[in-house]
A and B are shown apart, each in its own frame.
Chain A
Amino acid sequence: MAITKAELAVSLHEELGLNKRESKEFVEQFFETIKGALEDGSSVKLSGFGNFGLRDKPARPGRNPKTGEEIPISARRVVTFKASQKLKEAIEDNSDALKRLFS
Chain B
Amino acid sequence: MIKTPTITRSELIEALVDKQPHLAHRDVELAVKTVLERMGGAFEDGDRIEIRGFGSFSLHYRPSRVGRNPKTGESVAVEDKFSPHFKPGKELKERVDAINN
Q: Which residues of chain A have a CB within 8 Å of any CB of chain B?
A: 1-5, 7-8, 11-12, 15-16, 18, 22, 25-27, 29-31, 33-35, 37-39, 41-50, 52-56, 74-81, 83, 87-88, 90-92, 94-95, 97-99, 101-102
Tell me which residues from 1 to 19 in chain B have a Cβ below 8 Å from any Cβ of chain A: 1-2, 4-9, 12, 15-16, 19
Task: Kindly list chain B residues whose C-beta atoms are within 8 Å of the C-beta of A41.
Answer: 4-5, 98
List 11 other contacts, CB 8 Å, given A3-B49, A33-B16, A77-B99.
A5-B51, A11-B35, A16-B31, A22-B20, A30-B16, A31-B51, A45-B8, A55-B1, A74-B99, A77-B97, A98-B46
**Cβ B27 vs Cβ A30 within 8 A:** no
Inter-chain residue pair count (beta carbon < 8 A): 183
Chain B contact residues, CB within 8 Å of chain A: 1-2, 4-9, 12, 15-16, 19-20, 22-23, 27-28, 30-32, 34-36, 38-40, 42-57, 59, 61, 80-86, 88, 91-93, 95-100
Shortest beta-carbon distance, B1 to chain A, in Å?
4
**Do A44 and B12 touch across chains, with their CB atoms under 8 A apart?**
yes
